[in-house]
Structure 1
Amino acid sequence: MPTLLISGLTAGALLAATAACGAKSLDAAAGGDAEPAAEVVLDQAPAEEKAADVINAITPDKELAAKVPADVKAEGLKVVSSIGYPPMELWAGDGKTAIGFDPALARAIARKLGVTYTLTDEEFNSQIPGVLTGRYDFVISSMTDNAERQAKITFVDYVRAGSGMLVKKGNPAGVSGPADLCGKTVSVVDNGSSLELAEKYDADCKSGGKQALNILKFPGDTEAMLQVINGRAQATITDYVVAAYKAADPKVEVEAIALEGTESPWGIGMKPDNTALIESVKGALDSLIKSGEYGKILAAWNLDKLAVESAVVNGGK
């Protein structure tokens, strides 16, 4: 029997065996007498991941897996995020395993592409430089897709989310929208979208002849929220999904208010010249959307309202 045929039968047997145990074998090089590539065992989502059953049932799409860049096939998908922004990113009980919607979707994309997955926790400002230098393949970290960031990286948009406010339970200050913030103290994360909104609302109050906002700036979301709990601020501005998650905790005693008209796409950011990876991620996300797996992962984290109908490249403005 010719050597080429033996190799082909070996590859077929290997594929059948790995399919049965939830693993995938990378395609062998086309033509010649190439040996089959090494077996890849796909990562399993941890038990504390709310969408674990959905994720662990995802199998590779053969056509998409065949087009994955060689370095990603060899080294796995290297992902960066900032953990500590529930329900998008948070630590499991062991304090070292990332769960939440962003890690869940990244893991689902990796499984759809038939590659392994690693996630590194980095501060927000280090993420884009890490992608541009090649340390990471992509960033998924509740990052708004906008024109300023598009000048550096290319996004595949995966959800559409808006901003919100947290007020003390019972809303004693009577805050129902931006106009009610005039003359009040508002806490925000410094240098983020919440600060930009607070400054806009402050300008609107002043131009309308009303009292300015007293804006308190903090390095993190938790510090900003504490100002509402201790009564120093009447409201804090953050992403609505985070506000709703915190308001659902009866121990926190806060209420969430959506800020209408603030919705924008959040994107998975990649190096612009890495077109093969961009197409792979876009294809994997579209596949997850069409199969319903994307919707199930959103639902597991009670984030159905953030769903997009298709993967769009650079849809932000």
Structure 2
Amino acid sequence: MQISSRLTVRLATVAAVAALALTGCTTASQDTPPGSTASAGADASFDPTTVAKDDALIALLPAALKSKSTIDVGSDTSYEPAEFLDKDGQTPIGYDVDIAKAIAATLGKKADVHTADFSSILPKLGTVYDLGISSFTINPERSKAVNFVSYFNAGVLWAVQKGNPKGITMDNLCGKKVGVQTGTVEEDPDVKDRSAKCVAAGKPAITVVSLKNQTDVTTRLVGGTIDAMSADSPIIKNALAKTNGQLETLGDVYDSAQQGIAIAKSDTELAGVIEKVMNKLITDGSYTKILTKWNNVEGALPKAVLNPTAG
């Protein structure tokens, strides 16, 4: 999830993209451990692969993609309910995965969703992946390095143990242990900046517990070894549902921002097609069915936009 980033992009494109991926947000939440279930809602039976293909949109595809039977998608599958692994520990599922499948079906193809480290996806667009669909917050720095098609809106939200036994508030975080997923904007700049303000005020810094998987962050909060955690709003809400009443939210959602499907900066032709495909899925109702299936209709956008203004 994005808060305004303060990094200055001074590196070559690939290096810049890698750095930007680390400063942004995945929509981080839970890896689903084996044996757990998807957070499906009323439209759990909706199959995005059944979306009808659109020959007019297929005709607009770049030549290199027309000859492929699949669309390769990079995704950090540790971020339930957006993208995570099913009970078998191998199959990617989630609303981002279903959106990838619906895009591919519209273009007469199959989505091949590859599990990848969040920070590695953007640098590999155009070479390894055709698309990056992994809850990427659209911010100015990333937008300099890749094309984005907006498709979802999320904010930052915090959680503590049920009943808030440690009396945590958004105003007394100095000296506390706060868990975040590595590479998210919750880690940097949000919690990092909050900690700097603590130090500037003569108070102890926030101890930032940065972990690769959001599941581990959630587990530590349930166990009480950290005092609070911060993640994208859909991830926190999902964590509350999956921990059987052991957690509760702290404060309200803030810094809502659009997330985008990422396409290589040089691939403007494909970016334009993806914008058209997403708007078709929004218009025909497939998009709403997907978000309803995963209990995240509140994040829906009325229109997909290619390279929207990033704040």
> Normalising TM by the smaller chain, what interval?
0.7 to 0.9
Q: Equivalents in 2 of 1:216, 1:150: separation in Å?
A: 28
Q: Equivalents in 2 of 1:223, 1:203: separation in Å?
A: 25
Match among 69, 88, 98 for residue 82 of structure 2: 88
SS at 1:141 equivalent? strand
Residue 179 in 1 paired to residue 171 in 2? Answer: yes
Aligned length: 269
User: TM-score by structure 2 length?
Assistant: 0.79
Superposed counterparts of 1:240-255, under 5 Å:
240-251=233-244, 253-255=246-248
Per-residue CA shift, 1:170-226, capped at 9, x if unaligned? 2212335x2242342212233421112111222344455655423223233223223
Residue 194 in 1 paired to residue 175 in 2? Answer: no
Superposed counterparts of 1:1-317, under 5 Å:
50=40, 51-75=44-68, 76-132=70-126, 134-176=127-169, 178-196=170-188, 197-207=190-200, 211-251=204-244, 253-257=246-250, 259-315=252-308, 316-317=310-311
SS at 1:270 equivalent? strand
RMSD: 2.3
Q: Please say if residues 101 and 111 of structure 2, whose CA atoms lie closer than 8 Å, have aligned partners that are also in contact.
A: yes
Gaps (5+ residues) in structure 1? 1-47
SS at 2:137 equivalent? coil
Shift of 1:260: 3.3
User: TM-score by structure 1 length?
Assistant: 0.78
Q: Please say if residues 179 and 201 of structure 1, whose CA atoms lie closer than 8 Å, have aligned partners that are also in contact.
A: no
Gaps (5+ residues) in structure 2? 1-37
Letter matched to residue 54 of structure 2: D
Q: Please say if residues 68 and 276 of structure 1, whose CA atoms lie closer than 8 Å, have aligned partners that are also in contact.
A: yes
Q: Please say if residues 181 and 217 of structure 2, whose CA atoms lie closer than 8 Å, have aligned partners that are also in contact.
A: yes
Q: Equivalents in 1 of 2:243, 2:220: separation in Å?
A: 17
Q: Please say if residues 157 and 254 of structure 2, whose CA atoms lie closer than 8 Å, have aligned partners that are also in contact.
A: no
Letter matched to residue 125 of structure 2: V
Per-residue CA shift, 1:80-113, capped at 9, x if unaligned? 1111210011112232221101110000111112
Per-residue CA shift, 1:230-266, capped at 9, x if unaligned? 2222101111211110100244711234643311111
Residues 1:112 and 1:258: Cα distance change in structure 2 (over 3 Å): farther
Q: Please say if residues 119 and 183 of structure 2, whose CA atoms lie closer than 8 Å, have aligned partners that are also in contact.
A: no
Q: Equivalents in 2 of 1:258, 1:308: separation in Å?
A: 24
Q: Please say if residues 81 and 139 of structure 1, whose CA atoms lie closer than 8 Å, have aligned partners that are also in contact.
A: yes
Q: Equivalents in 1 of 2:83, 2:222: separation in Å?
A: 23
Residues 1:152 and 1:303: Cα distance change in structure 2 (over 3 Å): same
Larger Rg: 1
Shift of 1:49: 9.4
Q: Which has the higher contact order (CA 8 A, sep 6+)?
A: 2
